[in-house]
Amino acid sequence: MKLLTAMHPDTDYYFIIGGDMVEYLPKWKDIDALVQLVQFVGVARPGYGRESVYPIIWVDAPLIDISSTEIRKMVKTGRSIRYLVKEDVKDYILEEGLYLEDED
C-alpha cells in the first residue's frame, strides 16, 4: 500500500473486509500505518457488532452465510463453489489451482 499510495497519491484506496475480521484489526501487523493509507470498509455479518477503534465505513450487502475460509476448504476438498463466487472468480481459482495446498 505504501508503494501504491506513493505512485498514485490522489487515489483513495478501500480495504474491504468482513465484519467478522474487524475485531482482529488490532492484531494486524502495522495496522496503525495501514489505516493512514486506506479506508476500511466493513461488510456487516450476522452476529458481529459494528464497533471498532479504527474508522470503518460499514455497508450492508446481501448476506451469504459462508466465509472465505469455508470456500477455500471447499476448493481443497473438490466441492463446488458455483453460486458462491462469481463465475470468473471460480474459473480463475480452478485454472490457477488456488487453495489446493495447506495454508501456512
* Span 29-42, average pLDDT: 96
- For residues 59-97, one letter each, b for 16 or more C-beta atoms within 10 angstroms of the residue's C-beta and e for the rest, the string is eeeeeeeeeeeebbeebeeeeebeeebeeeebeebeeee
Candidates 45, 101, 96; CA nearest to 72 is 101
For residue 62, what pLDDT is reported? 79
Gap between the Cα atoms of 81 and 59, Å rounded:
24
pLDDT at 13 over 80: yes
For residue 67, what pLDDT is reported? 84
pLDDT digits (tens, 9 = 90+) for 83-103: 999 999 999 999 999 999 876
pLDDT digits (tens, 9 = 90+) for 46-80: 888 899 999 999 998 877 778 889 999 999 999 99
5 burial type by CB count under 10 A (0-12 exposed, 13-18 middle, 19+ buried): middle
